[in-house]
Homo-oligomer: A and B are copies of this chain.
Amino acid sequence: MVSEADFDRTMDRIFNPKHLAVVGVSSKGVGFGSGIMLALLNIGFEGEIYPVNPRGGEFQGRKLYKSVSEIPHDIDFAIVATPAETVPKVLEECLAKGAAGAEVLSAGFGELGTAEGIALEEEIRKVARRGIRVIGPNCFGVYCPASGLTLLPGPDLSRTPGSVAFLSQSGGMSIDLAHIGKWMGIGFSKVVSFGNGADLREVELLDYLSRDPETETIAMYVEGVENGPAFLQTLRRTTPEKPVIIYKGGLSEAGARAVASHTASLGGGRVIWNSLLRQANAVQVYNLPELAQACLAFSMLPRREYRGISIMGGGGALGIAGCDAAERYGIVVPPLRDSIREAIMRVLPQPGSSAKNPIDVANSHVEPQILKTALREAARDPAVDLQILVSLFYHYKVQSRVFGVPVKDIVPFKELAEAAGEVARTTEKPVLLVMPNNKQELDAMDIEEMRREARRAFLDQGVPVFDELDDALRAVSHLSRYSARRRESFEKPLDAVTALVTRSRSVLLYWGAGESRRLIYAVSE
């Protein structure tokens, strides 16, 4: 039995290796091994890299070692991209070189469904049990911005670390969220694509992240879990401390079939998953954009209940849409107090504006200082916990053309970002920006460029940015519900759930232990 401290030390060597072997690097520069080498060099991995190829030779001026054993130093971690049948032997050599772990990018194991593939995966497991922790096979590996370890197709990921960890059974999902995080403003502590999960997988990785001081929010893409009860218990132990956002793929019948051929795991039904995740106060999301938006909200906003919000934008219909969406997500758009409403109306242009909440600022070109006053006033209302500002910056395109000034120079996004950031800090009520782009034709590239600069400016001010109102409201509702229920969880004994039986698609939950245990929940599809 490995102690927590030892396990954490092992994981630390995996995420921050000082000496790294990359096995299966072709001198011709093709294949997974060369791809990951180029990615590591491009992103600026900070440790020493030892590329390996049985035929020797050179890769971009670097010596190719003929085997792991030939490497003139002990290693912390290895990236393995050799043909499936050679992998167990490579792992043996890595173990002998003192490696704490290895990631196996190669495919051709259990996911094939063949006897040979399954046997090879079992061999990996056997080596792993002797002391080298394996990530994969059939995965994209580990991304750790702090050390510069990166995913298989990840040469251009961000080196700025953040507080969100992502565990993904799918390689594609891992690289997608890492890419999205880069522009959306989600910083990562660690991203792990664990593919078939022959050794390390959801339970141990989640357990590690629950203790990892660099991780404050945990996101997961799950196709199926190996050990339901252990996963649920780990989840329940984690969520009172750190939110766990889970995208469970394959909830549908066809989806479950696709899961089987993707990572060869057993999916489990929709009802079971929804119940379990709800009971564990995990945050369940249903697609990749929703996952990313939730990560953004959880990592940038205080963990509180947000019952009431203000919505401010140019155009009556926009505010109405906001109200409708808010209600759908259980959020209130309360009428503002009379005195506050009057104070806001004093600064807004007339006619056409309204400060009843939603606050209709009459047009899309209202000055930042006016919006700042309106935001500051609205924040005074005790029924307002959070504010959403909707800016239709693309309407500046006309002015840009009339005055012959680039659109990014004419939109006052810097001033507005500073105003929003200052209001959020001084009132301690978060401000979110929603920035739709309804002009996406080829000759409006300037608007997109301005939007991207504006997004940066708002993120720098601590203001998260969403493309659509619906997205922002859904993300806030996830955060709010999690925060509200987190208090509940703290009040319950954490070890209350002692048993979970998943047999023939039914689930049983027990409170307490031994003879006094009591069935509290049963569900079957």
A11-55: contact bitstring with B at CB < 8 Å (1 yes, 0 no)?
A: 000000000000000000000000000100000000000000000
Whether B155 pairs with A262 at a CB distance below 8 angstroms is no
- Report the minimum CB–CB distance from A267 to chain B (whole Å): 9
A317's contact among B112, B170, B332, by CB below 8 Å, is which? B170
Contact yes or no, A315 B172, CB < 8 A: yes
- Tell me how far the C-beta of A436 lies from the nearest C-beta in chain B, rounded to whole angstroms: 8
Q: Are A440 and B321 in contact (CB under 8 A)?
A: no
Among residues of B, the one whose C-beta sits closest to the C-beta of A354 is B261
- Nearest Cβ on chain B to A500's Cβ, whole angstroms: 24
User: What are the interface flags for A261-278 relative to B under an 8 Å C-beta threshold, 1 for contact and 0 otherwise?
Assistant: 111000000000000000
Find chain B residues with CB under 8 A from A442 CB. 183, 449, 452-453, 456
Report the bound CA distance from A289 to B323 in whole Å. 16
Whether A102 sits at the interface, judged by CB under 8 Å, is: no
Query: Residue A153 contacts which of B171, B319, B398, B456 (CB distance < 8 angstroms)?
Result: B398
B324–A221 CB distance below 8 A = no
Contact B358 A258 (CB under 8 A): yes
Contact status B332-A221, CB under 8 Å: no
Q: Is A254's CB under 8 angstroms from B332's CB?
A: yes
Q: B468 and A289: CB pair below 8 A?
A: yes
A263 touches B153 (CB 8 A): no
Interface positions of A (Cβ within 8 A of B): 38, 107-108, 112, 153, 155-156, 169-173, 176, 179-180, 182-184, 221, 223, 249-255, 257-259, 261-263, 286-289, 314-321, 323-328, 332-335, 351-352, 354, 356-358, 360, 394-395, 397-398, 401-402, 436, 438-442, 444-445, 448-449, 452-453, 456, 468-470
11 CB-based A-B contacts, threshold 8 Å: A169-B317, A172-B314, A179-B438, A182-B439, A182-B441, A183-B439, A252-B323, A254-B327, A258-B316, A286-B328, A288-B436
